[in-house]
Structure 1
Amino acid sequence: MEDTLASDLDLISITQLRQVANQTPQPYRLHLQVESRIEKATSSGSPFFEVKLVDAGDSFVWRVFDNNPLFQDAAKLTRNTFIQLAGQWVDGKYGLEPRQVQMRLLSEGETSTLLLGDPDLATRQQADYADIVAFIESIRDPRLLKLCSAFLERHGERFRRTGAARRNHHARRGGLVEHVAQMMRCALAIAGVYPHLNRDLMIAGVLFHDCGKLWENAYAESGFTMPYNLTAEMLGHIPLGLELVNKMWRDMLDTPAAAAWTLLEPASETVRLHLLHLIAAHHGTYEFGSPVLPKTPEAIALHHVDNIDAKLEMFRRAYETGKELAPGIIEKFLPWPVNIVAPLPSVNLPRAE
């Protein structure tokens, strides 16, 4: 593939590439950011690089062996560098693999465009954030309303660039917004069926259940890399979330508005404890990191809503990008232990006249 032809290739995202890579190989361009470059050795001792590449919605590892013409160029790649890879793409032994590949650095204009993110994904996340704001504005308890509103006001920008995880589900810039919005929709649907659930507490619990991930899974301000940091590594998102909500709650009680809450029932201290319990118990079991088990109806509901949304997002991604072993059978993916099967479509009945 001549270099002069690279600019004529279609520019696509990693997610789009996964959808076509298992078909007849076609040449495409990708604009990417380097998250990491690790030097390793094969069983025979030959060096190779594992270069993790990311964009707004996905990531993959490019393995560059010493017989690759770009081996020396790959050796110079540094974290956060923006590059273009152009070539034939296949879904190979190690996942996405470029063949006859060309690489160059992105221009400043190309980098700025890439940082805007995938337009469809950005539009969905904007709509999700707007829904979160609307759900919060519907809270009747003035303490939970003020706490949730203060969180968005103080941490909204960071919230919007945080992933829900490093892998498995919603592991992308803004993924936490998607996860929280869908959880709120699900939680409110369940609260409609079980009216004894505290609707306000459910909304606040969903908003704050993963708020510690703003420090554990936040993406860089100008990029798609998710750096590690000592605070998150040593504490984890549940203790961080408890600390954040406790601090914000104490600060809120020092505001003039708090004077009007002294006669409210349930008492502010009880509300605080119930909210903290939702954060502490949302993983559901000790072995998955919850310091306590769910002990309230809202805690049980929140745990299952969280689990449902995470699992269904894994399925969605598998249907979108997974390898089909046979019609309707998709190869298992981490952390799922078995192959999955395509869902049953709804019956298509003719319209009544």
Structure 2
Amino acid sequence: MSQLPDLPRLPLGARVQDPFLVLEVEQRESARGPFWTLTLGNATGRLPSAPVWSEQQEMVAGLTKGTVVQVIGEVTQFGGKRQLRLSSVRPIPRGAVEWDQLLPSIGDPAPWWARLDEWRARIAKPRLRAVLDLFYEDPAFRTRYGACPGSTNGHHATLGGLLKHTVEIVLIGHAMARAARADADLVTAGALLHDIGKLEAYRWEGVFETTEAGALLGHVALGHRMLVERLATTDPRPCTEREQWMLEHFILSHHGKLEFGAAVPPMFVEAEILHYADDASAKTDSMNLALADPDNFADGAPVSARGVWQLDRRKVWRGDSDWGAGD
């Protein structure tokens, strides 16, 4: 595989002549007339194009989200943000480029699965383990779960991002459970079930997108339905009615507040732990992404020039110190 251009870190003046995936195509109006912008991506990240004006419109005519293109261009800057000034854009067949070059990925999912499966094997409660096995012993489910992104454009937005996000939640949740004297097995189960609806809410065969069902219902409602339907079609019933309510509650409450997408707020300690562990995993990933993006920092400044939407529009700081370690 040829060396991929590192889109988040390409310096001004860098020339590219590489394949990219079209992530967005946008048309706008200005005093000069209509113009088009593309958002181009590969496995390293994404970069917007400079405006393509009407006299160059044929260069982007017919391009849609998900098109694979061969691009020639140069990195420039406008308004403190890098952009790619396009010289040539040519559609190429999807099969001409390996998808692992076009989409960000966690890489080999096997180490992440090993962690999850080890925790699942330690669960001592047979009925709790039996419910999890309905999903996590299903090869088709595992294939999709191991590829699904954690979001379409935000935290863990990579192939396999949902799997990585889940492992992080269990790690954080176990630490919180020890401090709160909570049931770690139950926290594990909540982590493994809370986002299963994303398998129906997202599409990742190409660009990361929300499905029609995801747009209409959302991953919380879809995940709740997946759990209820799987338990209803399992005979004998693997858990009691009250135990099923607890597992449903994990899915329905994990966003914490109704205004953030929860159907109900968390009502027992393990559900509270799941909510905060989920939020901590998402926010720290978003923070690391924001700190690594040079476009957030003007002229090498330590404080970002603007707030980051994934972090509730907070600014971020990338200063550091070795605290005397190098003395």
Both proteins in one fold, TM over 0.5: yes
TM-score of the pair, normalised by structure 2? 0.85
SS of the residue aligned with 1:34?
A: strand
Q: Cα–Cα, structure 1 residues 117 and 147, in superposed 2: closer, same or farther, change >3 Å?
A: farther
| In 1, Cα distance between equivalents of 2:256 and 2:116 | 24
How far apart in 2 are the matches of 1:97 and 1:292? 43
Aligned counterparts, 1:103-114, within 5 A? 103-106=89-92, 110-111=96-97, 113-114=98-99
1:238 matched residue in structure 2: 220
Could you tell me which amino acid in structure 2 is paired with residue 329 of structure 1? V
Mapping of residues 269-284 of structure 1, within 5 Å: 269-284=241-256
Displacement after TM superposition at 1:246 (Å):
1.2
Following TM superposition, by how much is the alpha carbon of 1:280 offset from its aligned partner in structure 2, in angstroms?
Answer: 0.9
**In the superposition, relative to structure 1, how do residues 106 and 300 fare at CA in structure 2: closer, same or farther (>3 Å)?**
same
2:172 to 183, 186, 206: 186
Give the aligned partner of residue 303 of structure 2. Answer: 329
Deviations 1:10-68 (A, max 9, x none): 8425xx221233xx422134422224434332244x22223343334534443542256
Unaligned runs of 5+ in 1: 1-9, 262-266
**CA 346–309 in structure 1, closer or farther in 2 if over 3 Å, else same:** farther
Q: Which amino acid aligns with 2:131?
A: L
How far, CA to CA, are the matches of 1:237 and 1:108 in structure 2? 29
- TM value normalised by structure 1: 0.80
Q: Do residues 288 (structure 1) and 263 (structure 2) align?
A: no
Deviations 1:173-211 (A, max 9, x none): 2221121111111112222333x3111111111111111
Q: 1:286 to 1:179 in 2, by over 3 A?
A: same
**Separation (CA, whole Å) in 1 of partners of 2:315 and 2:159:** 28
* Residue in structure 1 matching 2:74, options 85, 88, 102: 88
- Secondary structure of the residue that 1:341 maps to in structure 2? coil
What is the aligned-residue identity percentage? 22
Match for residue 170 of structure 1?
A: 156
Partner of 2:275: 303
Q: 1:109, CA displacement in angstroms? A: 5.9
Counterpart residue number, 1:17: 7
Cα 1:122/1:87, change in 2 over 3 Å: same
- Equivalent residue runs for 1:1-353 within 5 Å: 11-13=3-5, 16-21=6-11, 24-44=12-32, 46-56=33-43, 58-66=45-53, 69=56, 71-93=57-79, 95-99=81-85, 101-106=87-92, 110-111=96-97, 113-115=98-100, 121-123=106-108, 125-152=109-136, 153=138, 154-194=140-180, 196-220=181-205, 223=206, 225-252=207-234, 254-255=235-236, 268-322=240-294, 323-325=296-298, 327-331=301-305, 332-336=307-311, 337-342=313-318, 344-345=320-321, 347-349=323-325
Q: Does the Cα contact within 8 Å between 1:162 and 1:214 map onto a contact in 2?
A: yes
Q: Is the 8 A contact 2:8 2:293 kept in 1?
A: yes
Where in structure 2 are there 5+ consecutive unaligned residues?
none
Does the 8 Å contact 1:49/1:75 carry over to 2? no
Aligned length: 320
CA contact (8 A) 1:286 1:292 kept: yes
